[in-house]
Structure formats: C-alpha cells, structure tokens
C-alpha cells in the first residue's frame, strides 16, 4: 500500500472499533479496527478519541507525514493511507480522518512484541539495547532512534517494535518501523499551545531500548553508523505536506516542519562532533 490520501468521504461504518489506552498525559483512547478481503488484512486506527468530543487529535495525519519523512531518509517502514471517512463509534456516526495500513507479515511469519521476545531470550543482566545489538539489529535500532528524535516520538514502548518469526526458516527479523502517531505536536489542542510549543525541548519519552530522553538516545548512535541515510533537505518540506491542505491548519504544518528541520540540523551537528 503506497502513501495516499483519499479525500472523498468513505462509508466505513461497518468497522468494529476496539479501544487502546492513550499514553500518559492524554485523556481519551485510540480506536483500532481491521478488515480482511481476499486474504489481505488491512488495519485502521483513529486519532485520539473520547465518547463526548469524538475524534480530537491528529495522530493519523502524523502517520502520513512520518511515512513520507522515512521515505525521504530511505528507512524501511510501514506505509499508510489517510482516509476521509464516516465511522460508527459508541452508537454515533462521526466524520473524521483515519489511517490504514496493510499487514506487514508474510504468510509464513508470526509476530511477537519485542519486549516479550526480549524477556524470553535475553541473557542475565542484558539490557534491551544490548540484546538487540546481539541479534544483529544495530541498523534498525539506530534508524529508529534517529527518527524518534526528529519527530519526538513519545511512545516507543516494547510493543511498538515487533519481531517477525519465520517458523520454516527459523529466522527472526524486526518488523518495518510503524506507529509514529504520538509525535510532533500531538499534545497541542489549540493555536495557543501550538505557538508555545518549543520544538527543541527534550520532553520525556518512552523508549524500550533507550532512556526517557530522545536527545540522549540519539547520542547512542555510533559515529558514521547512519552514513547511508539520505540527507534531509529544506526542499523536502513540499513533499512531506503535499495535498494535506485543509486537513489541519497551515500553522500546524509550519510548526511540524520547524521541529523536523531544526532537529535534523542538530543531528548533523552532533555527527560532526563525534
């Protein structure tokens, strides 16, 4: 599934939504659903939702922007579609934007959350980071820490990284990077909070393989480890926000780019200092 935006409102009231809790500090929950057609599973998720106010967040839009960012950087990741839809939640029909993605597992694969796999297979006193490096997943971890710094991903817990097992070949591999919605300006509910948001502030994050500081996690990446990453350019802004006009106010996109670009420049400066 390629990144795309479906602006014509789709009737998706047939989907059955289940709740997952919001991260610490966020009221509401995140609703998820799936459908299956001709053996292909598609997963759907909403932005932050509560039964009184409906869908109030823009995490689904964040997913599309980060999808495009990772494409620019040349990092393997899950692709999303952004869909304008009518849904049925808590007995009410709501008009909203949701994101959809296809199952990244191959037919012969099963998946397990990284934290579960780590707990089952770790050596005594082995940290999650050391465990992943021992498995040969260094590039995957460094890419993830870079991306999570650029977008200030607050929610890289141990189940937001998955391991895919091929039972026939007896191999394990990390799933493509996914679930980046709780990032960027996800906590900004209005223009006042958006204007006050410091894009370089090192806010507390969840990171299963690192610390609660995205900046300190960035410094874990060895010098030249990501020299193959495609450098971000100021002209990339156009492609990151292409065709998103009207879905969020322009001020949000301006602030998102300010965060991504300033943090990319800080990462390049850090690389030159190592």
- Looking at the structure, do residues 193 and 128 belong to the same domain, yes or no? yes
Average pLDDT score, the chain: 92
Selected residue with higher pLDDT from 2 and 190:
190
The 3-state DSSP class for residue 70 equals helix
Domain encompassing residue 195: 109-273
User: Per 3-state DSSP, what percentage of the chain is helix, strand, and coil (rounded to 5)?
Assistant: 30, 25, 40
Stated as kind and residue range, the H or E segment containing 147 is helix 138-151
pLDDT at 29 over 90: no
CB 77 within 8 A of CB 176: yes
Q: For residue range 142-186, what is the model confidence (pLDDT) as tens digits?
A: 999 999 999 999 999 999 999 999 988 888 999 999 999 999 999
- Looking at the structure, do residues 215 and 86 belong to the same domain, yes or no? no
- Looking at the structure, do residues 265 and 148 belong to the same domain, yes or no? yes
CB 166 within 8 A of CB 108: yes
- Looking at the structure, do residues 52 and 155 belong to the same domain, yes or no? no
Tell me the C-alpha to C-alpha distance, in Å, between residue 213 and each of 129, 145, 201, 209, 217.
15, 11, 10, 11, 6
Look up the pTM and report it: 0.93
Confidence of residue 45 (pLDDT cuts 50, 70, 90): very high
Q: For residue range 102-113, what is the model confidence (pLDDT) as tens digits?
A: 988 888 889 999
Of the residues 82, 102, 122, the one at which a domain ends: 102
Could you tell me the CATH number of the domain that includes residue 140?
1.10.1070.20
- Looking at the structure, do residues 260 and 174 belong to the same domain, yes or no? yes
- Looking at the structure, do residues 213 and 116 belong to the same domain, yes or no? yes
- Looking at the structure, do residues 33 and 65 belong to the same domain, yes or no? yes
CA distance 140 to 182: 20
Question: What percentage of the chain reaches a pLDDT higher than 70?
Answer: 96
- Looking at the structure, do residues 26 and 75 belong to the same domain, yes or no? yes
The 3-state DSSP class for residue 111 equals strand
- Looking at the structure, do residues 245 and 148 belong to the same domain, yes or no? yes
Query: Comparing 33-47, 78-92, 187-201, 235-249, which segment has the lowest mean pLDDT?
Result: 33-47
pLDDT at 120 over 50: yes
Of the residues 102, 134, 156, the one at which a domain ends: 102
pLDDT at 218 over 80: yes
Looking at residue 150, its pLDDT comes to 98
- Looking at the structure, do residues 116 and 242 belong to the same domain, yes or no? yes
Looking at residue 23, its pLDDT comes to 46
- Looking at the structure, do residues 206 and 114 belong to the same domain, yes or no? yes
Number of domains into which the chain is organized: 2
- Looking at the structure, do residues 205 and 257 belong to the same domain, yes or no? yes
Of the residues 102, 120, 142, the one at which a domain ends: 102
CB 80 within 8 A of CB 67: yes
Stated as kind and residue range, the H or E segment containing 259 is helix 250-273
């Amino acid at each position: 599934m390629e990144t795309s935006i479906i602006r014509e409102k789709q009737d998706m009231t047939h989907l059955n939504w289940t709740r997952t809790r919001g991260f610490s500090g966020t009221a509401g929950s995140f609703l998820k659903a799936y459908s299956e057609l001709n053996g292909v599973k598609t997963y759907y998720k909403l932005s932050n939702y509560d039964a009184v106010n409906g869908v109030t967040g823009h995490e689904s839009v964040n997913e599309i922007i980060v999808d495009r960012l990772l494409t620019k950087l040349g990092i393997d990741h899950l692709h999303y579609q952004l869909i304008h839809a009518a849904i049925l939640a808590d007995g009410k029909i709501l008009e909203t934007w949701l994101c959809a993605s296809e199952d990244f597992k191959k037919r012969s694969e099963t998946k397990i959350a990284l934290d579960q796999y780590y707990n089952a297979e770790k050596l005594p006193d082995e940290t999650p980071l050391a465990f992943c490096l021992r498995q040969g997943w260094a590039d995957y971890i460094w890419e993830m820490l870079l991306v999570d710094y650029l977008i200030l991903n607050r929610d890289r817990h141990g189940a937001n990284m998955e391991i895919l097992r091929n039972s026939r070949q007896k191999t394990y591999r990390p799933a493509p990077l996914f679930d980046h919605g709780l990032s960027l300006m996800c906590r900004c509910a209005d223009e006042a909070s958006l204007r006050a948001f410091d894009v370089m502030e090192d806010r507390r994050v969840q990171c299963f393989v690192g610390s609660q500081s995205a900046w300190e996690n960035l410094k874990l990446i060895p010098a030249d480890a990501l020299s193959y990453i495609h450098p971000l350019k100021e002209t990339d802004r156009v492609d990151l926000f292409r065709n998103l006009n009207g879905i969020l106010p322009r001020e949000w996109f301006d602030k998102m780019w300010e965060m991504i670009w300033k943090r990319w420049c800080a990462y390049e400066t850090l690389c030159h200092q190592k």
